[in-house]
Amino acid sequence: MCALVAFACYDAFAKEMVALYPPPMVNLARYIAVGIIALVWLLRAGELRIWRAQHKGLLLLRSLSLAVVATCFMAALVTMPLAEATAIYFTAPLLMVALSPWMLGERVGRVQWAAVIVGFAGMLLIVRPGHDLPFIGTLLMAISAICYALFQMLTRRLAGVVHSSILYAWMALVCLIVTLVVLVVGGAPVWPSWQGWAILLAGGFCSGAAQLLLLAAFRRVAASTLAPLNYVQLLLAVLISTFWFQRPPDGLALGGIALITAAGIYLAWPRRVARVA
């Protein structure tokens, strides 16, 4: 729960920061902070030679997937309301179920397919034609959801095979490099003052701490127990968007968010994990 609150707070923080700085700059500070955490972890674990890890191709693909997620998500926040953006992002577990027969060789039954369809119907209620959501922001958030589903599947492939500190370090390094490339390609950025850097880095450490808390939770509690709780973050996003940013979702969007949440919780429920999670 602490991890989910920290993730929701960072998303709200990022929404505020992209109004002041280019999205790649916010990501740069984030992954500098995450990189510092990764370096400390590697030093404690005595595993600094991360290039010697097994499955380097999968590690690179997993890390690149998350880099695309971060880049698209942050850029989408410039124009997207936080609640709707987070709801689209939370279709990733549904995408994971839809892709698992082809990528993981898992069996998905009719009832699970029905839940996936219900979830995507909820997304259509949010991004319905004629709604005032920006097209580019919606597209970027959809790409983010697809890449996050790929990231999750690759994480499952590598879990128990590669040490967590190596997974974390590869993610931090690749995301930092990709963010630097995006920042350079994007032209001359607006560089923050030292106070701005301090604030951005503080947010980055919040994001990094959230990831560590989530890893610690999964070491102590079964994934099947934790998975349904992820949708608390979606509820927090709705509350923050409504009361902090004064951008409450309309009735149809709330209905779509409810459908995505219900479908996701159903698929993540412990009795279904053997098949779909």
Q: pLDDT, tens digit, for every residue of 12-39?
A: 999 999 999 999 999 999 999 999 998 9
Amino acid making up residue 29: A
Nearest to 180 by CA among 171, 189, 170: 189
158-200 pLDDT, tens digit each: 877 888 888 888 999 999 999 999 998 887 677 889 999 999 9
For residue 18, give every residue at least 6 positions away whose Cβ sits within 8 Å of its Cβ, in sequence order, or none.
Answer: 26, 74, 75, 77, 78
Cα 241 → chain centroid = 17
From 116-125, 142-151, 205-214, 216-225, the region with the lowest mean pLDDT:
216-225
For residue 59, pLDDT over 70 is answered with yes
pLDDT of residue 271: 53
Higher pLDDT, 98 or 9: 9
Q: Report the predicted TM-score, pTM, of the whole model to 2 decimal places.
A: 0.84
pLDDT of residue 270: 61
Task: Calculate the alpha carbon distances from 20 to 24, 101, 191 in Å.
Answer: 12, 43, 10
Task: Provide the β-strand partners of residue 159.
Answer: 162
Residues, the chain: 277
From 50-59, 102-111, 120-129, the region with the lowest mean pLDDT:
102-111
pLDDT of residue 224: 61
pLDDT of residue 109: 77
Task: Report the alpha-carbon distance of residue 2 to residue 203 in Å, rounded.
Answer: 15
For residue 205, pLDDT over 80 is answered with yes
Cα 193 → chain centroid = 28
For residue 218, give every residue at least 6 positions away whose Cβ sits within 8 Å of its Cβ, in sequence order, or none.
Answer: 226
Structure tokens at 109: 């039954």
Averaged pLDDT for residues 26-55:
85
pLDDT of residue 188: 64
Averaged pLDDT for residues 221-234:
76
Structure tokens at 27: 């990501």
Amino acid making up residue 190: V
Higher pLDDT, 239 or 104: 239
pLDDT category of residue 273 using cuts at 50, 70 and 90: very low
Mean pLDDT of the chain: 85
Higher pLDDT, 133 or 141: 141
